[in-house]
Structure 1
Amino acid sequence: MPTQKIHDQINSRLEDLYRRHREEPEGSVARYYPPEMEDSKDLFAISLCVVDGGGTYQTGDCDHAFPLQSISKVFTYGLALEDNGRDRVLESVGVEPSGDAFNSITFDNRMNRPHNPMVNAGALVTTDLVAGENKDEQLRRILDKLRAYAGNPELEIDESILDPQGQSTDRNRAISYLMRSFGMISDDIEPNLALYGRQCSVHVTAEELSLMAATLANGGVNPRTGKRALDRRYVRDVLSVMHTCGMYDAAGQWAYEVGIPAKSGVSGGILAVVPGKLGLGVFSPGLDDYGNSVRGVRVCREISEDLGLHVFADETEDLLLHAADPEK
């Protein structure tokens, strides 16, 4: 565990990041939110959770809860892998970057499947693949998983955003019915759309998001509770797809500049994972043209550069050692 001196230095660095990036433009807010969402576009939070002991360092609006949105795709994909196995899931959902927007109506025509589970088409299929006798059981199992990752047994769905969010699901509905015509998804289109909407509407804080990331960094075991959230054999699969497909159609740029597995959501959250070391959760609703948090991308980029976290960096520095010696 870090000493008090290192603890203070990490907090100081996060405060500096928060102060500098808070002054930069925040972008825009996802358009399907109700008008009052405009009031939250100045919210900004950074939380870092280390694997060793599950300690968190945070600054900003870390107590503010926001919907996971597309970040939920990560965890449902992991659950689908556990329920069906790698080969079965790969038959239904690929692992290739699409190069298109997350809600594009495009598929891998050669393999007759969505490109990957991080775009809406693939996520709708992985949600459909979650085991359960009915949609209520599927939802319960998804919620239980999310709670295990976050270390919070009281995570809930925010029903208030389902109606305004539901008004914009026509594109997902079109994707689903087209996939059904190709035999990519089951016949339960409307119930599956409702289930998908509910998993996206589960609310977390930035601190909980960083703990969810740290759980993936810790081989699928929540470092705070000690409970396994994902079978170790599938952690590699989840992180690999996050690394290549997790940041919408800016995934290639992210892999080039930041170089760590991550997933964003249009609510303004970014979950980033440094395997064996830490999880990062950033929240800022202002979005860039790709649907990624403007401040979140900048914060993650700076942390990766400063600490040498890029997977292909020449030298990787230990977070705590770097924090202990700012001259490094």
Structure 2
Amino acid sequence: MHCLKSLRTANPGILQLFKNAGISSRGGADNIVLSRTQQPVPLPCWAAASHHTHRAFHQKGPDADPGHPKSRFMSSMEDLLFYTITEGKETIPLPQFISALRKTGLLTSDPRLSDCVREMRQSSRDSVGPVMMDKKLFRRCAGNNIMLLTKAFRKKFIIPNFDELTQQIDRMYDSVADYIPQLAKFSPDLWGVSLCTIDGQRHSVGDTKVPFCLQSCVKPLEYAIAVHEFGTEHVHRFVGKEPSGFKFNKLSLNDEDKPHNPMVNAGAIVISSLLKPHSNKAERFDYVMDFLKSLAGTEYVGFSNATFQSERETGDRNYAIGYYLKEKRCFPENADMMAALDFYFQLCSIEVNCDSGSVMAATLANGGICPITGERVLSTEAVRNTLSLMHSCGMYDFSGQFAFHVGLPAKSGISGAVLLVVPNVMGMMCWSPPLDRLGNSVRGIHFCQDLLSHFNFHNYDNLRHFTKKHDPRRRSDEDPNKSVVNLMFAAYSGDLTALRRFALSALNMEQRDYDSRTALHVAAAEGHVEAVVFLTEVCKVNPHMKDRWGNTAIDDAMQFGHDVVVSVLQEYQRGYTDSDVDAPCDTEEQKITPDTLKGIV
């Protein structure tokens, strides 16, 4: 049988967490029983409002006032997060922490984690042997990132089970070549896929660091910049909004003698003439480059001068389009047609890789806010209009087919790139040079179709009634029946790791099953002392709740002869009152709301 003496020896970190909440061990013959030496730390109003809210964040940070309730609150959040990551251990190797971080989708290159990475590097330099992550180091690393890390490990990102999504992406990446007979004619060497969610979760597979030119993928980006700067009405005085039905480089205009849309060459050339019209060539180019670098966060954005020179020498069709536009007076007044063409060639020659392209796409998916820097780059109006045009006109002559089968905004380029946006979820960049007869990447098109066959990202997929497709945005705790089963099974098996994870996710730890039993009933009946101590002293669950037969948790422990559990529950009941969870927030110490939580950090 378990005893609390062995519990202290085996897992002192949990008991330290209890002490921080005001619990200590009592000596003497009865030393196996935990006793309260002081009142629990007052809980914030939003955490203590009812029995159906999780209540377990307490204590202080390393550089904060130990007596301040906000300090206690944040420090105990760090402690609970630490033991969730380490599965109850006092120390883990630093690579294990980094691996756990990557499973959530966060990379060490994320600029939001710069302080955390700096602390880890400093510890590596100061250490002679392998670096071990303990609570002290974790607090230094997590100090400025506690909100981000808590959100990650609580699985509150847009893709909660990111590891499952990336495994499926990897399988699709590997399977593409096997399903496309046309690829036998092309070199299979270069093929990369990167994704970035609106929360900054990242994944890459294949040749994602190889630079390539944006080519036509720059068209929606320059259009977004133009709308951001001048507004929709001004921009569409010079360019239309409708699909053309013709090839992207055809000399044709709509009934109003305007280019059909900004995604064809004629429209993109006119848009180029709108950007910084009174600046010199260098200033105009730097202006757009700065925008694109902001869209890509800290990722690579470069320029291929060789491609630019080649475009200028061989762009006869674009020169013809330029003169046709000039003859039809499509340019703004006093615009220089040759300067606009030169600028357009420059923009097409801007280089990115899959990683930076995916962040650009994610910025569009996130309403114009870069997910890894948090910077507002584009207005919501510009993003909305850009995505609408990408959906209807972004894939050359394949746009209708793509909208039908994939149903997402996308833009392809003759470099083999496909920029894909899943609005409010993520952005992707696929790159493979072999093209089909319409100028789209063969692998990229098939990958997008495969993606939509597995996941219900299509704009018109039903999010409530679906059978074959998987929704990676769906959280397991959204199903109340499943959450009850998972909680009860964790209590039955004494799985402290799972219980910590549920507590960190703000799950109601007092949920009842069909027999009105709580997790405390189950843990007490099975004699799991650690689980009982965690549920009572950390989660502060109600010990007086009765099942359908009128039994409390202590009754179950007595019935099955678990004396240590009985002692723990008796001691807990003596200090427990309903006011522990229902006390009104009438003191200054307790007035902590979710809105002020970021200010605490």
TM-score relative to the length of structure 2: 0.50
Please point out which of 262, 275, 280 is paired with 1:117: 262
1:66 and 1:267 in contact (8 A); partners too: yes
Alignment match of 1:249 (pick from 377, 385, 397): 397
Amino acid at match of 2:404: Y
User: Structure 2 unaligned runs (5+)?
Assistant: 1-151, 465-469, 478-601
Q: Which amino acid aligns with 1:96?
A: E
Which of the numbers 32, 42, 46 marks the counterpart of 2:193?
Answer: 46
1:309 matched to 2:462? The reply is: no
Work out the CA distance in 1 between the residues paired with 2:258 and 2:329.
9
Q: Distance in 1 between the 2:192 and 2:463 partners?
A: 28
Task: Kindly indicate whether residue 306 of structure 2 is the aligned counterpart of residue 160 of structure 1.
Answer: yes
Distance 2:267 2:188 in 1: 29
User: Residue 173 of structure 2 aligns with which residue?
Assistant: 18
Q: Which residue identity is paired with 1:66?
A: F
Q: For residues 199-235 of structure 1, what are the alpha-carbon distances to aligned partners after superposition, in whole Å with 9 as ceiling and x for unaligned?
A: 1111111111111111001000000011112111221
Matches within 5 A, 1:257-276: 257-276=405-424
Q: 4+ residue stretches of structure 1 with deviation over 4 A?
A: 2-5, 25-29
C-alpha distance 283-230 of structure 1, shift in aligned 2 (>3 A): same
String of CA shifts for 1:252-299, please: whole Å, max 9, x gaps: 111011000000100001011111101111001111111111110111
Are 1:148 and 1:229, in contact at CA under 8 Å, matched by a contact in 2? yes
Kept in 1: contact 2:299–2:355 (CA 8 A) = no
Q: Which amino acid aligns with 1:101?
A: K
Structure 1 partner of 2:50: none
User: In 2, Cα distance between the equivalents of 1:130 and 1:321?
Assistant: 41
Q: Structure 1 residue 322: deviation in Å?
A: 8.6
Sequence identity (%)? 37
The residue type paired with residue 49 of structure 1 is: C
- The separation in 1 between residues aligned to 2:190 and 2:198, in whole angstroms, is 26
1:155–1:182 CA distance, 2 compared to 1 (3 A): same
The residue that corresponds to 1:33 in the other structure is: none
Note the C-alpha offset of 1:303: 0.9
Counterpart code for 1:319? P
Point out where structure 1 has 5 or more consecutive residues left out of the alignment: 30-37
CA contact (8 A) 2:249 2:264 kept: yes
Higher-Rg member (1/2): 2
- Whether 1:207 and 2:362 are equivalent positions in the alignment is no
The residue correspondences of 1:155-194 to structure 2 (distance < 5 A) are 155-186=301-332, 187-194=335-342
Q: Is 2:227 the counterpart of 1:72?
A: no
Give the C-alpha shift of residue 95 in structure 1: 0.7
Q: 185, 205, 222: which is aligned to 1:59? A: 205
Query: Residues 127 and 41 from structure 1, CA distance in 2 versus in 1: closer, same or farther, beyond 3 angstroms?
Result: farther
Distance in 1, Cα, partners of 2:454 & 2:448: 10
CA 323–97 in structure 1, closer or farther in 2 if over 3 Å, else same: farther
Report the residue type matching 1:19 in the other structure. Answer: D
Question: Does residue 140 in structure 1 map to residue 289 in structure 2?
Answer: no
* Aligned alpha-carbon RMSD (Å): 2.3
For residue 164 of structure 1, report the CA deviation from its aligned partner.
Answer: 2.4
Number of matched pairs = 313
Q: Which residue matches 2:30?
A: none
Cα separation, 1, equivalents of 2:476 and 2:219 = 33
Q: Is the 8 A contact 1:75 1:145 kept in 2?
A: no
Seen in structure 2, the aligned counterparts of structure 1 residues 46 and 26 have a Cα distance that, compared at 3 Å, is farther
Aligned: 1:216 with 2:216: no
- Which structure carries more relative contact order (alpha carbon 8 Å, separation 6+)? 1
- Deviation at residue 151 of structure 1 after TM alignment: 1.2
Task: Please state how far the C-alpha of 1:314 moved relative to its aligned partner.
Answer: 2.5
For each residue in 1:23-72, what CA deviation from the matched residue of structure 2 results, as whole angstroms up to 9, or x when unmatched? 4456599xxxxxxxx8x7630011111112x1211111111111000000
Distance 1:208 1:59, change over 3 A: same
Aligned equivalents of 2:432 and 2:461: distance in 1?
27
Q: 2:379 aligns with which of 231, 240, 248?
A: 231
Whether the aligned pair in 1 keeps the contact of 2:257 and 2:330 (CA below 8 Å) is yes
Give me the whole-angstrom Cα distance separating, in 2, the residues matched to 1:320 and 1:137. Answer: 42
Residue identity opposite 2:190 in structure 1 = L
